[in-house]
Amino acid sequence: MAEGTIKRLTDKGFGFIATGNGKDLFFHMSNLEGVRFEQLKEGQKVSFNAGTGPKGPRAENVKPI
């Protein structure tokens, strides 16, 4: 699993993870594991699997570490 930091959260149930390689990765609240979207905070470290959604790359199986 890759690791990153939550860069931005929206009030619409999705956010972006800074991966450390200059590209941010989209994630949706339906791709969270073991945590509710409301419990996440910007700057929090997470682990995830890189995947592909209907609109391009996205993070899947997102979990706080």
pLDDT tens digits along 3-15: 999 999 999 999 9
Q: Which domains does the chain have, with CATH numbers?
A: 2-64 (2.40.50.140)
The pLDDT score that the predictor gives to residue 33 is: 97
Confidence of residue 63 (pLDDT cuts 50, 70, 90): very high
pLDDT tens digits along 17-43: 999 888 999 999 999 999 999 999 999
SS (H, E, C) the chain: CEEEEEEEECCCCEEEEECCCCCEEEEEHHHECCCCHHHCCCCCEEEEEEEEECCEEEEEEEEEC
Q: How far apart are CA 20 and CA 54, in angstroms?
A: 23
